[in-house]
Amino acid sequence: MDLKAVEKLAGFLNKEILDLGTVDPEYTVTRATWRNRDKVIVFRVKGREWVTGYSNLVTRRHDIYRLFNVRSDEELYRLMEKALNNPIHLEKDDFEKYFKRVDGLLDVLPFIKYYREDGGYYLTSSVFIACYETYCNSSFHRVMYHSNEKATVRIVPRHLHYIVGRRHEEGGDAPVALVLGLNPFQELAAAMNPPLGVFEVGVGAALGGGSKVVETPLFKIPVPADSSIIVEGFITRDRDREGPFTDILMLVDQERWEPVFKPLAVYVSREESPVFHAIVPGSWEHQFLMGFPREPIIYSAVKRSVPGVKSVRLTEGGSGWLNAVISIKQSSPGEAKLAGLAAVSAHPSIKHIFVVDEDIDVDDPLMIEWAMATRMKGSSDIIVLRDVKGSTLDPRSSEGVGDKVIFIAVKPWGEPWDKYRRVGVP
């Protein structure tokens, strides 16, 4: 993407742009982003002025509704489910037409130090595209700078982890393309985690993110043609320190021994002013980009067994990642528990699920608490699933294995509504 595209999107979302000018790579962007939720922040990092950074493009649910021109959750979830199930065929174009190689490797990239507790300088919107056998994958992975020729990558045990593992088992390093400056539709798709084999770039194209791709010169990896920066390189079998780093929970994610990324070549868009996305860890944008794409996946999983599902929220209180609220219109006994179990398998990182009736506003924490206060019976409505794979970020888990809890806060099946309906103010 380029600055003109960011300005156009900001205008479309009726957002003012706050230009910070040229800033130090430490903390300035973090402060400005947290202090200006409803302004799009743009800036250039001292010494990396050739590229413009931006943050706070999508910070509220209505920004997403506007981006997709929808008026309800159901409309949005159906649109995203349709894109997931019908990825668009990608059209290949000429790499040279869109990108040029530049001198230098990681030293030319805009690494930022977001928080004092972080172990180093990071790229937080880095999407890795990797291919294996007959399929390709696109997913977000943060990158910590070590030197011009070395970085470490946090690779949670999902699709890229699987592909890299196969390559390493075959005795080689894994060829990848690190991509920055994807458009918002391709970013959302890269966070959606469809079944392995479904190429997220095709989903992003179906969401409206454009179907034109170019193949990288060394590894022929398909990358969206409107990206800003591409780094071809290897995820090697070497490991080194990654972290500590502030995560989506606004906790310090522990230091780990993660794979080393070895860059080979950097290519930059021929657009006049390429941009990169500075996703400030823990910010609203981080929650929307990482958490929100899981909502339609939870919604369609619940809908398969509970036709009356109405809304799903990964709540801001759960940092958009660990806590889900699901509202349903019950049509048979036991559905609320089934909805909770369906959510567990749809979003494996989930920790707590609150199932409420369709009269409860999923965006009102007080109403959710009221439903728990008036419709739950602790001895039968709290289901604890012990020692299940969950989020590696959960401090109460051991490397992601922890407890999940389903809270059934619905009117008991068969009992009259009169007993549970909240009285309206006359």
Ligand X SMILES: C/C(=C\C(=O)O)CCOP(=O)(O)O
Catalytic positions, written as ranges: 247
Which C-beta is closer to ligand X: that of 183 or that of 193?
A: 193
| Partner whose binding site includes residue 173, from Mn ion, ligand X, none (CB under 5 to 8 Å by kind) | none
Name the DSSP letter for residue 370: H
The answer to whether 126 contacts ligand X (rule: CB under 6 A) is no
Q: How far is 64 from 39, CA to CA, in rounded Å?
A: 15
Which C-beta is closer to Mn ion: that of 137 or that of 349?
A: 137
| Partner whose binding site includes residue 156, from Mn ion, ligand X, none (CB under 5 to 8 Å by kind) | ligand X
The answer to whether 349 contacts ligand X (rule: CB under 6 A) is yes
Q: How far is 375 from 312, CA to CA, in rounded Å?
A: 19
The answer to whether 297 contacts ligand X (rule: CB under 6 A) is no
The answer to whether 20 contacts ligand X (rule: CB under 6 A) is no
Number of residues that bind ligand X (CB under 6 A): 11
User: Least distance in Å: CB of 358 to ligand X?
Assistant: 29
Q: How far is 313 from 321, CA to CA, in rounded Å?
A: 10
For 320: left if phi > 0, alpha if psi spans -120 to 50, otherwise beta; the answer is left
| Segment near ligand X (CB under 6 A); pick from 30-38, 110-118, 202-210, 246-254 | 246-254
Name the DSSP letter for residue 54: E
Q: How far is 13 from 213, CA to CA, in rounded Å?
A: 27
The 398-417 site mask, x for binding ligand X (CB under 6 A), equals --x-----------------
Handedness of CA 87, 92, 97, 101 (dihedral sign): positive
Which C-beta is closer to Mn ion: that of 160 or that of 409?
A: 160
β-bridge mates for residue 138, sequence order = 129
| Partner whose binding site includes residue 124, from Mn ion, ligand X, none (CB under 5 to 8 Å by kind) | none
At 64, list the tokens.
Answer: 């997403």
Judged by CB under 6 A, the chain residues 373 through 392 that form the site for ligand X are: 391-392
User: Least distance in Å: CB of 182 to Mn ion?
Assistant: 15
Select from 164, 393, 406, 409 the one that contacts ligand X (CB under 6 A): 393
Angle at 216 between CA 214 and CA 217, to 5 degrees: 125
Question: In the complex, which residue's CB is closest to Mn ion?
Answer: 159
Q: 184: exposed, middle or buried (C-beta count within 10 Å: 0-12, 13-18, 19+)?
A: buried
| Partner whose binding site includes residue 137, from Mn ion, ligand X, none (CB under 5 to 8 Å by kind) | Mn ion
User: Least distance in Å: CB of 415 to ligand X?
Assistant: 37
The 146-175 site mask, x for binding ligand X (CB under 6 A), equals --------x-x-------------------
Compute how many other C-beta atoms are within 10 angstroms of the C-beta atom of residue 273. 18
Which C-beta is closer to ligand X: that of 308 or that of 400?
A: 400
**Under 8 Å between Cβ of 178 and 128:** yes
Which C-beta is closer to ligand X: that of 161 or that of 337?
A: 161
| Partner whose binding site includes residue 236, from Mn ion, ligand X, none (CB under 5 to 8 Å by kind) | none
Q: Where are the alpha helices (DSSP H) in 312-422?
A: 335-346, 365-375, 378-381
Binding residues vs Mn ion (CB under 5 A): 137, 159
The answer to whether 344 contacts ligand X (rule: CB under 6 A) is no
Which C-beta is closer to ligand X: that of 264 or that of 385?
A: 385
| Partner whose binding site includes residue 247, from Mn ion, ligand X, none (CB under 5 to 8 Å by kind) | ligand X
> Which long-range contacts link 205-210 to residues 24+ away (Cβ below 8 Å)?
205/87, 205/88, 205/90, 206/82, 206/83, 206/86, 206/87, 206/88, 207/68, 207/79, 207/80, 207/83, 208/68, 209/182, 209/183, 209/184, 209/185, 210/183, 210/185, 210/186
User: Least distance in Å: CB of 44 to ligand X?
Assistant: 25
For 414, phi then psi, to 5°, come to: 95, -15
| Partner whose binding site includes residue 15, from ligand X, Mn ion, none (CB under 5 to 8 Å by kind) | none
Q: How far is 311 from 73, CA to CA, in rounded Å?
A: 7
| Partner whose binding site includes residue 159, from Mn ion, ligand X, none (CB under 5 to 8 Å by kind) | Mn ion
User: Cis bond leading into 244, ω under 30°?
Assistant: yes
Which C-beta is closer to ligand X: that of 263 or that of 390?
A: 390
Which residue has 């980009």 as its token pair?
289
Compute how many other C-beta atoms are within 10 angstroms of the C-beta atom of residue 128. 27
The answer to whether 248 contacts ligand X (rule: CB under 6 A) is yes
The answer to whether 252 contacts ligand X (rule: CB under 6 A) is no
Binding region for ligand X (CB under 6 A): 142, 154, 156, 247-248, 253, 349, 391-393, 400
